[in-house]
Structure 1
Amino acid sequence: MKRFLPIILIIVASLLSYSNIFRNEFVFDDPDVILKNEAIKDITNLKAIVTTNYWHSEANAGLYRPFIFLTYAIDYHFWKDNPVGYHFFNIIGNLGSGIVLYLIFALLLNNPISALLSALLFVIHPLHTEAVTGIVGRAEVYAAFFFFLAWYWYLRGYQKGYFNVAMMQYCLFSNYAIGSYIAFFLALCSKENSVVLPVILASSTLVFGREFSVVRSRNILVSLVPYILVFFAYMLIRMSVIGSIGPQGEEQFFHGKPFTTVLFTMSTVFIYYLKLLFLPTGLLGVYRHWPMYASFFDIRVIFSMIILSCAAICSVLYLLQKKTWQFFVFFFVVTLFPVSNLVIRIGDIMAERFLYLPSAGYCALVGFFCSSLLRRYPGKIRLLLPRRVMLVSVSILFVSLIVLTVARNAVWRNGIVFWHETLKHIPDSFPGYYNLAVAYSEKQQYNRAIQALQKSLDLHPRHHLARRYLAELYYDIGNYEEAIKQNALLLQYQPTEGVVYSNFALCYFKQRKYDQALAVAERGLKHAHDKTPVYHVMMRIYKNENDYENALKTAYKAVEYNPDDIKAYLNMGTYYERMEDFVLAKESFRNVIKRDPKNLEALDKLASIYFKEENYRDAIAIWRNATKWYPSAESFWYYIGLAYDRMDQHELAVKSWRNIKESSEYKKRIQERLQ
């Protein structure tokens, strides 16, 4: 029992720290990455899961994390849009990371108490709430878990034990070694910062092993070759899918900035990271307001550079002195380096979640120093602090951290709470008020959403996203005059946005001012870079006036402009169906299905036309195929049964109707037919 007590404590501490997150909703990036991600909504479609970049809607985001997508697909399969299961998956990753970290530190430090303190601090630290409580922080959690697992199995992979082999020969094909390679690959497929694992493997072997020798160094280098091969295999897959090492163009936070600006700015960021580790207060979900520093002579830059230079020198000295504490400083620096913007510029300047993996070095330092004090000065310390006092002090510290973590979890309750708390710290953040408005809108609190958008525009009048969203909200609540006013203002500094012309025209359309609506649309066709939404609104106007001739002409122009315009083909098919030209209607719907085989509307309408033509077999085939993707669409089963009934295949009709579980309307119709 004593053997498993540390693991039990780690599990309990992790569960206590995150016990209040199960009621939390999808917050911040969660809806975009998960709920709006079509790639994860079919767990059997592994091709979509492994060939979609992380920001599926942003081609140049430069992130590729297929394992995390697979976990989202598993969650979505079982939980759909219920966040409970997603949170549970994150907690499992956090306590798993803590357990493996305990095993590593117990092995390296040869002190179970120090290892336990370090692992407990890791799983309860309030700084980790963004990674664990925020669902999309899962990338950090599982990248760290597999990173630690690969490291642990590497250490265990030496013949006859890590510390007892004179030559320290590594079994390249032992079970431990193969498991370590697989874990490294999964870490890379979880997040890109895992790439530094070989550096940590080599350095930990040098520091905690025997004296330096050429043979030992050669063995260590040989042991790293499979990891390098795994890395190149991952990069080959990554480049074939997304074609880039990292974010490109304007997706980079420091896009267009000189290296000196990046260096000076990031030096102040690193110092603030240290503050957050030692004093986890004032936590934020976003740090894009952080100032950039272009000059070395700013006092904050000078101070930061001095501190970091000292830390860098100390972290290198371990090669000569083999000091344990210097290794953990080195671990922190190396694992933080991939998100430092110094080599590859990423999409954020800083984030608390970036510290999830590096903080293991900090936690190890704390545990190591505590145990060192007790070992070196046991009498003096016990004289000043009796054992019970020390135990109580440590307990109070850890309980306090758990309380802080639980309190921070509550901030992630929903978008409204999250952005309200964020704006308390950065009240001049116009993007913050925009995001608060989105959160209010999702809760149908439109008046508060409008107030938040107006505050955002007060801070930044040319914030086009806020202006457009404000116009859309006014449109949604029926205040078309205000929507027209906002769209007109928006076109003053965004005269080429097709969506704005479309929204503008729709406001006049809702007021039945069709001539003015068409006039705005015509302007859009002249000036907009993307004319597709303008064509769409014109089709809607013509259809409303029953002018199918002009509606069809516009649809043909739309597909000529964009041959993959699915909506134009759908409208075209609908117009031809209304005109009872079923041949051209079917051709239009087939064009949709050719481009989008799962398009529900096109499948249903094409099958309906076959049904009207009494071609029941083709209608049944299309509806049956559609039920594979839309098993809850009970109307399909009703009409499949009706088609069988028309063909006098009554047993097949009844069998099809048995698939209707919920719809009382269809059940009533079936009863009437069977009587």
Structure 2
Amino acid sequence: MITELLCTAAAVCLYVNTLDADFCYDDSRAIKTNQDLLPETPWTNILYDDFWGTLLSHSGSHKSFRPLCTLSFRLNYTLHGLRPWGYHLLNVALHALVTGLFTAVSRPLLGGGGPWCLLAGLLFASHPIHTEAVAGVVGRADVGAALFFLLSLLCYAQHCQARRWRWLLASLWCAAASMLWKEQGVTVLAVSAAYDLLVFQRLRLRQAVLLLLGKKKNVYVLLSVGSLASWGAALLSARLYWMGNKPPHFSNSDNPAADSPHLLTRTLTFLHLPAANAWLLLCPDRLSFDWSMDTVPLVQSWADWRNLHTVAFYLGFSLLALFGIRSGSGSAASKSKETNGKLHVSNGKLMTNGNGYHGPDSNHNTEPGPVKVSLNGSPSLNHGAAKASLPTTENLVLFSLAAMTLPFIPATNLFFYVGFVIAERVLYIPSMGFCLLVAAGARTLSVRLRTRGRRAILLALCVALVLLNGAKTIQRNRDWSNEENLYKSGIAANPAKAWGNLGNVLKNQGKMAEAERAYRKALHHRGNMADMLYNLGLLLQENERFSEALRYYKMAIGSRPTLASAYLNTGIILMNQGSLDEAKRTFLTCADIPDENLKDPHAHKSSVTSCLYNLGKLLHEQGRHEEALSVYKEAMQKMPRQFAPHSLFNMMGEAHMRLNRPEQAAHWYRESLRSKPDHIPAHLTYGKLLSILGQKTEAEKYYLRAIQLDPTKGNCYMHYGQFLLEQSRLAEAAEMAERAAELESTEFDVVFNAAHMLRQASLNEAAERQYERAAGLRPDYPAALMNLGAILHLNGRLAEAEANYLRALRLKPDDVITQSNLRKLWNIMQRQGLRVQSELGVQRGDL
């Protein structure tokens, strides 16, 4: 127990600094934008959605059905919302529990709670490869699966000793729970079978094969292993059925080898990837948050030098397996030895301690203990009799290899393609077998070293290994403390993805120039990344570099024709530039994109809905209100759960208002306010409708409520001022107009409308100031110049009025109102004997 506590404490100490970490990388999609975590979402949704909140039956789903993990996220959200510390606290607690359980599993395999069991536990607690699973919140799926993986294995070990079927039933249910944390957990059933045959029964590989083929008889073992196999088949069948009997779809950047048309490339690359993963376990010197795209270049020919790594890996693995198979045959047939080389005999019978295991062997003997011998001289299979204290070293090696290999098989692309090249968190469970193998090797080496000095050196090396791992883990925790550090740490391994993600972080920090440089560096390494092209376009658009932004959006669409967000922003820019027909075509193209085989169907649907919303606004501004309503209704049909519909509902109210349908308009205004009670535009539009319907007092309440919601928003004062003007409350209206213009002195529409209101209130001098400000904001807008000329005309500043009329006519020569006002002005000027620029200029068209 002390050993387990020490290892658990080490695990907590190594990761305690992650409690202050922020959400990183995939945490945003799995937690921040996952609707399944929200209290208002029925909790049963987690039974039908994948880990990311996408419906499992959807073609774009990753098919990662992990309801127990999602349920734990929902619990975190219920307790403390989106504060990261609680999520990290639970991750660290789970890792500590897993470390303690792994140490407990190692105890009977490595000779009790001695130094080798401690070594295995500390190696697992400190291995840097675990940082992604523990420090990254989404890694909880792997840690939670490991917890029930070990519980299932411990229950099965109890079943082997006591032959109590309730322990087997508990093991099976824990295996199901492990799979519901993450798919990889189902492999504990195969590991449990390996434990029964290699550790408890201590069979040679040939004997195990003969037993499973039915050529050896052992009812208990066959029933137990058969139960494991049947339960595994049932779980996998249910899992396949629940995900719609279809495999997930991944982009070629997620797993480039799977997308290669060449069999040789796929074969050599897939053979190399396990070697690359094994190297991360052996020497975790270079770790990365993302190993996708070209981080591991494809192995395309036999001449690639990395094939030597592949051969060395499989050769080493085969030698270890052969050691277990070959050496086991001699030891199992040899005489049984106690630690002093003799059997304990009492009344002519072999003696054990009466349970499944002897006490720890202080001499670390790895020879088998008492074995019953059948009449033909071969070892008989155990039917629940007491076993020796330790499995043979050979069988322990085989079991360690099985514990390392079997949980990794789902990630090998052997049975189906996976959506990653290398994923460090996938190694969390296989690393148990690795740590056990290292500890077993150190124990065996210690037995063979005959002097205390050499054993001391070995012990010092083991301590150094743990300390080095711990130091690397602490350093790696700092990388995972926030997204900026994480992405900077990944530049060496995956520069394209790291620079791109770093650009997003810098942009959110307001460092636009640095963000642009980061995006361009990402595109320098990989120029066809649609997301990066889109993000760069978005940054340029925010900096009002619209032409450049439009070019990058179109490049993003060319790289990924299904990127709906790029269509959305392209359409918005085109609409603002006056290219209305092209904007309309862009929005319609986006709306017609099928939402199949998409990485994030929720985000796609949101962009499609926004495209339809903007298309409806375009039609609405063109006076085509029935068409706008039809588009709005289509947007409502395609609207995802997480889409905020208040603006859409408000625009539907506006369309009905223009069609003189006040009752329908009122309904949609109320729906908008129900969806978002602090939505200011809905307060203003609903107030206007109530005013038209004669409900003046109620209307005024909505205007005042809008101002209360945001006292700094000039538009609210402008609308309220217009309402006051209609009520002939001129002084109050003028006050509102002045306040609106001062608050939003750079917004042309607000200033221009404020000038109109002041003019209607007969405050001509104040109106003149605002018209001058409006003309300064839009000097190329004819209406601004014409109205400035008109107010100057009224205020008696005739020469200045004439100049502004003429400027307006140069921009719009056929404007009848301006021409009429100019003639009236000239008549006055002539009567006063003032010189005009050209009396016949308008008719001659030379203005």
Normalising by the residue count of structure 1, what TM-score does the alignment of the two structures yield? 0.77
1:130 aligns with 2:204: no
Shift of 1:309: 4.6
1:328 to 382, 400, 422: 400
2:652 aligned with 1:572: yes
Deviations 1:10-53 (A, max 9, x none): 12211121121122111111111111111122287221122211
Measured in 2, the distance between the counterparts of 1:586 and 1:309 equals: 76
Query: Out of 266, 279, 302, which is 2:270 matched to?
Result: 266
What amino acid does structure 1 have at the position aligned with 2:130? H
- Aligned partner of 2:120 in structure 1 is 118
What does residue 458 of structure 1 align with? 524
Q: Distance in 1 between matches of 2:190 and 2:564?
A: 50
Match 2:663 to one of 583, 587, 609 = 583
Answering whether residue 249 of structure 2 is matched by residue 177 of structure 1, we say no
Partner of 1:49: 46
Q: Is the 8 A contact 2:123 2:435 kept in 1?
A: yes
For each residue in 1:150-193, what CA deviation from the matched residue of structure 2 results, as whole angstroms up to 9, or x when unmatched? 00111012454xxxxxxxxx322x2x333322211110011111
CA contact (8 A) 2:632 2:652 kept: no
Query: In the alignment, what sits opposite 1:205?
Result: 196
Structure 1 residue corresponding to 2:627, chosen from 550, 553, 578: 553
3-state DSSP of counterpart to 2:74? helix
Which residue of the partner structure matches residue 282 of structure 2? 278
Does the C-alpha gap of structure 1 residues 580 and 75 become closer, same or farther in structure 2, counting only changes over 3 Å?
farther
Question: 1:373 is matched with which residue?
Answer: 445
Q: Does residue 305 of structure 1 match 2:385?
A: no
Letter in 2 for 1:416: E
Structure 1 match to 2:150: 148
Structure 2 counterpart of 1:105, one-letter code = S
| Compared CA separation, residues 461 and 360, structure 1 to 2 (3 A) | closer
CA distance in 2, matches of 1:132, 1:498: 34
3-state SS of paired residue (2:68):
helix
Q: 1:222 to 1:455 in 2, by over 3 A?
A: same
Cα deviations by residue, 1:489-544 (Å, 9 ceiling, x for unpaired): 5566667865434313423555xx4x32x13313325655447544322333455x
**Alignment counterpart, residue 180 of structure 2, candidates 189, 209, 215:** 189
In the TM superposition, 1:5-20 aligns within 5 A as 5-20=2-17
CA distance in 2, matches of 1:366, 1:330: 14
CA–CA separation in structure 1 for the residues paired with 2:278 and 2:88 = 27
Residues of 2 paired with 1:437 and 1:571: CA distance?
35
**Closer, same or farther: CA 609–128 of 1 in aligned 2, 3 Å:** same
Letter of the 1:305 partner, please give it: V
- Tell me how far 1:82 sits from its aligned partner: 1.2
- List gaps (5 residues or longer) in structure 1: 161-169, 615-632, 634-675
Aligned-partner residue type, residue 274 of structure 1: A
Post-superposition CA distance 1:241-292 (Å, at most 9, x none): 4314642354762444355433311332222223222222111222222111
What is the CA–CA distance in structure 2 between the aligned matches of 1:236 and 1:46, rounded to whole Å?
Answer: 24
- C-alpha distance in 2 between matches for 1:473 and 1:435: 13
Comparing 67-76 and 390-399, the one that deviates more = 390-399
* CA distances 1:113-143 after superposition (whole Å, capped 9, x unpaired): 2222101110111111111111111111111
SS in 1 for 2:314: helix
Does residue 342 (structure 1) correspond to residue 410 (structure 2)? The answer is no
**Cα-to-partner distance string for 1:442-496 (whole Å, 9 max, x where unaligned):** 3332222222112223334433222221121222233434334434555666678
1:442 aligns with 2:508: yes
Cα gap change, 1:75 to 1:226, in 2 (>3 Å): farther
One-letter amino acid matched to 2:164: C
Letter matched to residue 540 of structure 1: K
**CA shift at 1:351, angstroms?**
1.8
TM-score normalised by the chain length of structure 2: 0.62
Structure-2 separation of matches of 1:124 and 1:440: 32
Residue identity matched to 1:96 = L
Preserved CA contact (<8 Å) 1:62 1:244: no
Asked whether 1:415 is paired with 2:483, we answer yes
Counterpart check, 1:98 vs 2:89: no
For residues 236 and 586 of structure 1, the distance between their equivalents in structure 2, rounded to whole angstroms, comes to 53
Instruction: Kindly report which structure 2 residues correspond to 1:286-301, keeping only aligned pairs within 5 A, or say none.
Output: 286-288=290-292, 289-301=295-307
Report the CA distance between 1:230 and its aligned residue. 4.3
1:458–1:61 distance in 2 versus 1, CA, 3 Å: same
1:229 deviates by 5.0
Q: CA deviation at 1:295?
A: 2.9
Name the SS for the 2:105 alignment partner: helix
Percent sequence identity over matched residues? 21
Tell me the matched-pair count. Answer: 583
Q: How far apart are the structure 2 equivalents of 1:229 and 1:552?
A: 61
Q: What is the 5 A alignment of 1:27-66?
A: 27-42=24-39, 45-57=42-54, 59-66=60-67
Equivalent residue, structure 1, for 2:435:
363
Do the aligned partners of residues 603 and 533 (structure 1) sit closer, same or farther apart at CA in structure 2, a change above 3 Å counting?
Answer: closer
Deviation (angstroms), 1:349: 1.4
**Residues in 2 aligned to 1:266 and 1:275: alpha-carbon distance in whole angstroms:** 15
CA 1:207–1:239 in 2, change beyond 3 Å: closer, same or farther?
closer
Match of 1:280, SS?
Answer: coil
Displacement of 1:110 in angstroms is 3.1
Unaligned runs of 5+ in 2: 329-393, 594-607, 694-708, 710-847
- Change over 3 Å in CA distance of 1:23–1:316 after alignment to 2: same
Amino acid at match of 2:268: F
**Partners of 1:487 and 1:182 in 2: how far apart?**
51
Q: Distance in 2 between the 1:297 and 1:571 partners?
A: 64
Asked if 2 retains the 8 angstrom alpha-carbon contact of 1:262 and 1:341, the reply is no
* Alignment check: 8 A CA contact 1:53 1:64 kept: yes
**Corresponding residue for 1:69?**
70
Instruction: Name the residue aligned to 2:718.
Output: none
